[in-house]
Amino acid sequence: MTGFEPRIIAFCCRHCAYAAADLAGGSRLNYPESLHIVQLPCTGRVDVLHLLKSFEEGADGVLVAGCLPGRCHYLKGNLHARQRIDHLHQLLDRIGFETDRARMINISAAMGARFAELATEFTERIRQLGPNLLAVSAQSPATQSPGTTP
Amino acid sequence: MEQAGHKIGEEMVGAVLVVGGGIAGMQASLDLADSGYKVYLVERDSAIGGHMAKLDKTFPTNDCAMCTISPRLVDVGRHLNIELLTDSQVETITGEPGAFSARLRTKARYIDLERCNGCGECAEVCPVPVSDAFNEGFSQRRAAFKLYPQATPDGYAIDKRGVAPCRDACATGQRAQGYISLIAAGRFDEAYRTIKEDNPFPAVCGRICNARCEDACTRGQIDAPIAIRSLKRFVTDTVLAGPRQLLEPVAQCHDERIAVIGAGPCGLTAAQDLCRLGYGVTVYEALPVAGGMLRVGVPEFRLPARIVEREIQDILDLGVELKLNTPVNSLDELVTEGFAAVLIAVGAHEGIRLPIPGNELSGVLINTQFLRDVRLVEPDLETSPAHDIQGRQVVVLGGGDVAFDCARTALRLGASEVQIACRGSRGVWPASEREIKAAREEGIGLHIGLDYLGLIDDGAGNVAGLECERVERFEIDENGRPIAHVVPDSRFTITAEVAIFSVGQKAGLAFIPEDAGVGITASRTIAVDGNTYATDRPGVFAAGDAVSGTAFVIEAVDGGHRAAETIRRYLHGEAVERVASTPVPVAVISDSELDTRQAQGEITPTPQVPVLAMAPESRATNFAEVESGYSKAQAIAEAQRCLNCGICSECLACDFTCGVDAIVHQMVEQKRQIKVGAVVLAPGYQTYRAELSEEFGYGRFPNVITSLQHERLLSASGPTNGHVRRPSDGQTPRKIAFLQCIGSRDQTHDYCSAVCCMYATKQAAMAKEHEPETEIRIFMMDMRSFSKGYEGYYKRAREKYGISYSRCRISGIKEQPKNKNLLLRYLSENSSVVEEEFELVVLSVGMEISQEVRDLGHRLGVELDDYGFCQTVRFDPLQTSRPGIYAVGPFREPKDIPDSLVEASAAAVQAGGLLAARRHSLTRTAEYPVERDIGEEEVRTAVFVCHCGTNIAGFLDVDAVARYADTLPGVIHTEHTLYACSQDNVAQISETVRQTGANRVVIAACTPLTHEPLFQSCLRTAGLNPYLVDMANIRNQCSWVHSHNWDRATAKARDLVRMSVARTAALEPLTTSEMAIERAALVVGGGAAGMTAALTLAEQGFPVHLVERSEELGGNLRQLYFELGEFGIGASLNGNDQPASPSQLLLDLEARIAADPLVTLHLASELVATSGFMGNFTSTVCDQHGTNHEIQHGVVLVATGGVEYRGEEYGYGSRPDIVTQQEFEARLASGDALPDSVVMIQCVGPAEQYCGRICCTTALKNALVLKRFKPEARITVLYKDIRTYGFKERLYTQAREAGILFLRYDDDHLPVVETGEQLAIRVYEPTLAQDLDFAADILVLSTPVVPPASAQRVAACLKVPFDMDGFFMEAHAKIRPMDFLSEGIFMAGMAHYPKLLEESIVHARAAASRAATLLVRDSITVGGAVATVDQSICVACLTCVRTCPFGAAHIAENLSGVGGITGAATIESALCQGCGLCVAACPAGAIDLKHFTNCQVMAKVGAMFTPAQQEPQSELVS
Q: Do B715 and A110 touch (CB under 8 A)?
A: yes
pLDDT at B982 over 90: no
Predicted local confidence at residue B864, as pLDDT: 97
Q: Please, is B1206 exposed, middle or buried when counting C-beta atoms within 10 Å of its C-beta (0-12, 13-18, 19+)?
A: middle
Look at A110 and B1477 and tell me if their CB atoms are within 8 Å. no
Q: What mean pLDDT is reported for chain B? A: 92
B171-185, B541-555, B1334-1348: least confidently modelled range: B541-555
B residues 1047-1106 near A, CB within 8 Å?
1048-1049, 1051-1052, 1054-1056, 1059
Residue B1363 pLDDT exceeds 90: no
pLDDT (tens digit per residue) in B293-310? 999 999 999 999 999 999
CA–CA gap between residue B928 and residue B922 (Å, rounded) = 19
Q: Tens digits of per-residue pLDDT, B422-444?
A: 988 877 888 988 889 989 999 99
The proportion of chain B whose per-residue pLDDT surpasses 90, expressed as a percent, equals 75
**CB-CB contact of B420 with B407 (8 Å):** yes
What mean pLDDT comes out for the span B159-174?
94
Residue A16 with chain B: CB contacts under 8 Å: 64, 67
Please report which confidence band the pLDDT of residue A140 belongs to, taking 50, 70 and 90 as the band edges.
very low
Q: Does A131 touch chain B (CB under 8 A)?
A: no
Q: Look at residue B7 in the predicted model and tell me its pLDDT.
A: 52
**pLDDT at residue B582, rounded to an integer:** 61
Q: Provide the pairing of β-strand B1274-1279 with B1301-1304.
A: parallel
- Nearest Cβ partner for A38 among B1036, B1477, B1500: B1500
Contact A71 B64 (CB under 8 A): yes
* Chain B residues close to A141, C-beta within 8 Å: none
In this prediction, residues B640-654 reach a mean pLDDT of: 95
pLDDT at site B1152: 97
Does position B1116 have pLDDT exceeding 80, yes or no? yes
Asked if pLDDT for residue B1515 goes beyond 50, the answer is no
Where helices occur in B1196-1254 by DSSP H, the ranges are 1221-1230
Predicted confidence at residue B1514, as pLDDT, reads 40
The least confident of B498-512, B743-757, B865-879 is B498-512
B1506–A contact, CB cutoff 8 A: yes
Helices marked H in B109-175 — which ranges?
Answer: 121-125, 165-169
E strand residue ranges, B381-534: 393-397, 417-423, 445-457, 463-476, 482-495, 498-501, 505-506
| B positions 1426-1445 inside 8 Å of A (CB) | 1443, 1445
User: What is the distance of C-alpha B1446 from the center of its chain?
Assistant: 38
User: What's the average model confidence in pLDDT over B822-849?
Assistant: 91
Q: Is the pLDDT of residue B1215 over 70?
A: yes
Q: Does position B1509 have pLDDT exceeding 50, yes or no?
A: no
Whole-prediction pTM value? 0.86
pLDDT category at B1516 given cuts 50, 70, 90 is very low
DSSP reduced 3-state for A145: coil
Q: What is the pLDDT of residue B248?
A: 87
Does any CB of chain A come closer than 8 Å to the CB of residue B1028? no
- Convert the pLDDT of each residue in B187-214 to its tens digit: 999 999 999 999 999 999 999 999 999 9
**In this model, does residue B1426 exceed pLDDT 50?**
yes
Residue-wise pLDDT for B1117-1156, tens only, equals: 999 999 998 898 988 898 778 898 999 999 999 999 999 9
In this prediction, residue A144 carries a pLDDT of: 42
Q: CB-based contacts of B604: which residues, under 8 Å, 6+ apart?
A: B598
- pLDDT at position B257 is 94
Under 8 Å CB pairs connecting chains A and B tally to: 193
Of B1258, B1293, B1264, B1267, the closest CA to residue B1398 belongs to: B1258
The average pLDDT across B514-524 equals 80
Tell me the pairing of strands B144-145 and B140-142. Answer: unpaired
CB atoms within 10 A of CB B989: 25
Q: Is B697 helix (H, G, I), strand (E, B) or coil?
A: coil
Contact A44 B1511 (CB under 8 A): no
Q: Which residue of A has its CA nearest to B1372?
A: A73
**Average pLDDT of the residues in B1212-1228:** 95
H helix or E strand, kind and range, residue B679: strand B678-681
Percentage of chain B modeled with pLDDT above 70: 98
Q: Could you report the predicted ipTM of this complex, rounded to two decimals?
A: 0.93
Please judge whether B1501 and A54 are an interchain contact, meaning their C-beta atoms are less than 8 angstroms apart. yes
Q: What is the 3-state secondary structure (H, E, C) of B755-769?
A: CHHHHHHHHHHHHHH
Q: Is A120's Cβ below 8 Å from some Cβ in B?
A: no
pLDDT attached to residue B424: 81
Q: Which of A137-146, B231-240, B465-474, B1034-1043 has the lowest mean pLDDT?
A: A137-146
Instruction: Say yes or no for a CB contact (<8 Å) between B722 and A22.
Output: no
User: What pLDDT does B579 receive?
Assistant: 56
**B474-478 contacts at long range (C-beta below 8 A, 24 or more positions apart):** B474/B424, B474/B425
Interface of B with A in 175-194 (CB under 8 A): none
Q: Are strands B321-323 and B280-284 parallel, antiparallel or unpaired?
A: parallel
Out of B459-463, B678-682, B1402-1406, pick the least confident: B459-463
Taking CB atoms and an 8 Å limit, are A38 and B1035 in contact across chains? no
B922-948 confidence digits (pLDDT tens): 999 888 999 999 988 999 999 999 998
CA distance B769 to chain A (A): 13
B1033/A22 CB distance under 8 A: yes
For A72, the closest chain B residue by CA position comes to: B63
Number of H helices and E strands in chain B, helices first, is 42, 66
Where b means 16+ CB within 10 Å and e means fewer, B808-838 reads: ebbeebebeeeebbbebebeeeeeeeeeeeb
Q: Decide: residue B969, CB within 10 A, 0-12 exposed, 13-18 middle, 19+ buried.
A: middle
Closest residue to A74, CB basis, from B1055, B1056, B1445: B1445
> Which of B725, B961, B1037 should we substitute to test contact with A (largest number of A Cβ atoms within 10 Å)?
B1037
Range in B470-479, B920-929, B1319-1328 the model is least confident about? B470-479
Q: For B566-579, what is each residue's pLDDT tens digit? A: 999 999 888 766 65
To test the contact with chain A by mutation, choose from B968, B1050, B1477 the residue with the greatest count of A C-beta atoms within 10 A, namely B1477
**Is B830's pLDDT higher than 90?**
no
- Arithmetic mean of pLDDT, B472-498: 86
HSE-up (13 A, CA, CB side) for residue B786: 28
CA distance B86 to chain A (A): 23
Which chain B residue is nearest to residue A16, measuring alpha carbons?
Answer: B67
Domain extents in chain A: 11-133
Q: Sort out which chain B residues have CB atoms less than 8 A from A108's CB and list them.
A: 64, 66-67, 716
- A80 CB near a chain B CB, below 8 Å? yes
- Distance from C-alpha of B886 to C-alpha of B900, rounded to nearest angstrom: 13
* B1275: nearest Cα among B1263, B1283, B1265: B1263
How high is the pLDDT of residue B3?
42
Q: B1449 contacts in A (CB within 8 Å)? A: none
Residue pair B1092/B1149 in contact by the 8 Å Cβ criterion: yes
Contacts of A58 in chain B (CB under 8 A): 1504-1505
pLDDT value of position B578 = 60
Asked if pLDDT for residue B381 goes beyond 90, the answer is no
Eight-class DSSP state of B1458: G
B1182 touches B1165 (CB < 8 A): yes
